[in-house]
Amino acid sequence: MGAERRGRTSDGWGWSQGWGRGGGARDGALGSGAEPRGARSGRIQPSAARRPAPCWPACPSSLWPRILTSPSKTCPTASFPPQTTRDRGSAWPLATRSWTSASLSTSSPGLSSPNIRMSLISRLSIASWASARPPGGRRESPCGICCPPAVPGSETTRTLGDGDYTDFYSSRQHATNMGIMFRGSENALVPNWLHLPVGYHGRASSVVVSGTPIRRPTGQMRPDDAKPPVFGPCKLLDMELEMAFFVGPGNNLGEPIPISRAHEHIFGMVLMNDWSARDIQKWEYVPLGPFLGKSFGTTISPWVVPMDALLPFAVPNPEQDPKPLPYLRHDRPYTFDINLSVTLKGEGMSQAATICRSNFKYMYWTMLQQLTHHSVNGCNLRPGDLLASGTISGPEPESFGSLLELSWRGTKAIDLGNGQTRKFLLDGDEVIITGHCQGDGYRVGFGQCAGKVLPALLPA
């Protein structure tokens, strides 16, 4: 999770003083991978007397009643979100290594679980009022009601049950690029791609938080089709620019989630790097799909941005032709204008080089369609399940979301400056993904999704 902030801040409430500045909320919610002070304090329950009436909820409305008491008065003047020139601190930090016993309870069946595998640590009044902060540590909400943090200088741990991981393949441009490279332009998209959101079941145990090093994988590969396969370290190590969402309330086994209700089951989003061993993947993927070429590591950002914070950035869904089957049709705008960038810093480089600028709005299949299709056979999704977008590629070459595309299957080098180039990742390379939504005088940041490549370890 990165270095933990210690000591009290000047306002006495444990709030970060670094909004929008380096080391604080730079390109992120409260920080770029660092836990806020007090994250180690464990389960602390707020007293009813200290719970403020919310003006701008920082979490989905279905979960909000479990965090704050029902307000005694409404806020007629509050806007969502409040206008500020600083990064919006509307995210929940994700502690993938801090298993706790607290549980998040709502009316949804199965939301509490004794098997804790993932926790969301939430400051109860997450920066909702951080932009209006008069001297003395008190903050005024947009309606003028004083809204101090519910628990001074501490956080409350909310946990979710065992999480599964599913990765989709929902960028039409990425799927087209891959098809052209490996099958030719006449067969770029496989027959099912325009009719359903293609996905596969991934490995949840190797999903790690930003800052965790990634070991170069070893495995079988067949670089020469005229020769037998060989075993050794991956030589074509790649990154994939992705985003992912966490499931909030789940569904019972055998009960599909209709697309009209799918939004009620999506909690929030994170950045993701789906590390990929292209040479291992190529040799193994027929007929059952990815296995060792993907399961060695998947990095996510440490801050979960709730969907309520992203709703102002919704844009029209892409036109889908042919129209999907009725169970996948919806009119709700659920594609989001999220600016994304990828930088790469090799050993000896003083600065990271930007290799990709893309946007989440380029996705063809929406999260509502992904979740609905995932459950249509009766599969039960559970709180904490992680569903990923697949590689996000835009229409221009600089918006391609993988090295495989940027180097066009290794046929051209990617210029990093100062004489350095890449086709695929080398040991010591660090990949950093950032993302944010830009509003009028404010933005919602996702923090960083970073990982550094370590040399392979061969079995003894």
pLDDT digits (tens, 9 = 90+) for 353-383: 999 999 999 999 999 999 999 999 999 999 9
Rounded Cα distance between 43 and 1, Å, is 18
**H or E segment and range at residue 180:** helix 172-183
The residue ranking higher by pLDDT, 325 or 88, is: 325
Residue burial 341-355, b: 16+ Cβ < 10 Å; e: rest: bbbbbbeebeebbeb
Mean pLDDT of the 395-413 span: 98
Question: For residue 460, what pLDDT is reported?
Answer: 78
CB atoms closer than 10 angstroms to residue 282? 15
pLDDT band at 162 (very low <50, low <70, confident <90, very high): low
Decide: 217 and 292 in contact? Cβ < 8 Å.
yes
Q: Which of 87-96, 98-107, 178-187 has the lowest mean pLDDT?
A: 98-107
165-454: CATH topology: Fumarylacetoacetate hydrolase; domain 2 (3.90.850)
Could you report the per-residue pLDDT of 176-229, keeping only the tens digit for each?
A: 999 999 999 999 999 999 999 999 999 999 999 999 999 999 999 999 999 999
Kindly give the pairing relationship between strand 92-95 and strand 303-306: antiparallel
CA nearest to 81, candidates 45, 110, 55: 55
Decide: 299 and 212 in contact? Cβ < 8 Å.
yes
Question: For residue 92, what pLDDT is reported?
Answer: 52
Q: What is the residue whose two structure tokens read 């089951």? A: 265
Mean pLDDT of the 290-299 span: 97
Question: For residue 38, what pLDDT is reported?
Answer: 34
pLDDT band at 459 (very low <50, low <70, confident <90, very high): confident
Tokens representing 212 are 């965790």
The residue ranking higher by pLDDT, 280 or 117, is: 280
Q: What is the mean pLDDT of the chain?
A: 75
pLDDT band at 91 (very low <50, low <70, confident <90, very high): low
Q: What percent of the chain has pLDDT over 70?
A: 65
Decide: 111 and 105 in contact? Cβ < 8 Å.
yes
Rounded Cα distance between 315 and 167, Å, is 23
Helix and strand totals (H; E) in the chain? 5, 25
The catalytic position among 174, 265, 330, 374 is: 174
How many CA atoms within 13 Å lie on the side-chain side of 387?
28
- Proportion of the chain in helix, strand, coil states, percent, rounded to 5: 15, 25, 60
Question: For residue 5, what pLDDT is reported?
Answer: 34
CA nearest to 209, candidates 266, 286, 270: 270
Rounded Cα distance between 41 and 5, Å, is 12
Rounded Cα distance between 344 and 95, Å, is 25
CB atoms closer than 10 angstroms to residue 424? 20
* Most confident of the ranges 37-41, 104-108, 353-357: 353-357
Decide: 199 and 379 in contact? Cβ < 8 Å.
no
Measured between alpha carbons, how far is residue 193 from residues 137, 165, 172, 294 in Å?
54, 21, 9, 21
- Phi/psi class of residue 190: alpha, beta or left (left: φ > 0; alpha: ψ in -120 to 50)? beta
CB atoms closer than 10 angstroms to residue 370? 26
Decide: 244 and 269 in contact? Cβ < 8 Å.
yes
Q: Which of 155-159, 272-276, 281-285, 323-327 has the lowest mean pLDDT?
A: 155-159
Tokens representing 377 are 């056979």
**H or E segment and range at residue 442:** none
The structural domains of the chain, with segments of one domain joined by +, span 1-159, 165-454
Before 81, cis peptide (omega within 30)? yes
CA nearest to 335, candidates 272, 449, 441, 245: 245
Measured between alpha carbons, how far is residue 428 from residues 250, 414, 449, 453, 454 in Å?
40, 17, 16, 5, 6
Kindly give the pairing relationship between strand 237-238 and strand 276-277: antiparallel
In 316-427, alpha helices (H):
367-375, 403-406
| Surface-to-core class of residue 69, CB atoms within 10 Å of its CB (0-12 exposed, 13-18 middle, 19+ buried) | middle
Mean pLDDT of the 394-415 span: 98
Decide: 103 and 113 in contact? Cβ < 8 Å.
yes
How many CA atoms within 13 Å lie on the side-chain side of 236?
22
pLDDT band at 86 (very low <50, low <70, confident <90, very high): very low
Kindly give the pairing relationship between strand 298-300 and strand 266-274: antiparallel
* Most confident of the ranges 58-67, 117-126, 220-229: 220-229
Question: For residue 177, what pLDDT is reported?
Answer: 97
pLDDT band at 121 (very low <50, low <70, confident <90, very high): very low
Could you report the per-residue pLDDT of 9-38, keeping only the tens digit for each?
A: 332 222 222 222 233 333 333 233 333 333
Tokens representing 38 are 């007090």
Tokens representing 203 are 């490995």
Mean pLDDT of the 287-312 span: 96
Question: For residue 127, what pLDDT is reported?
Answer: 28
In 203-306, alpha helices (H):
278-284
For the question of residue 330 being annotated catalytic, the response is: no
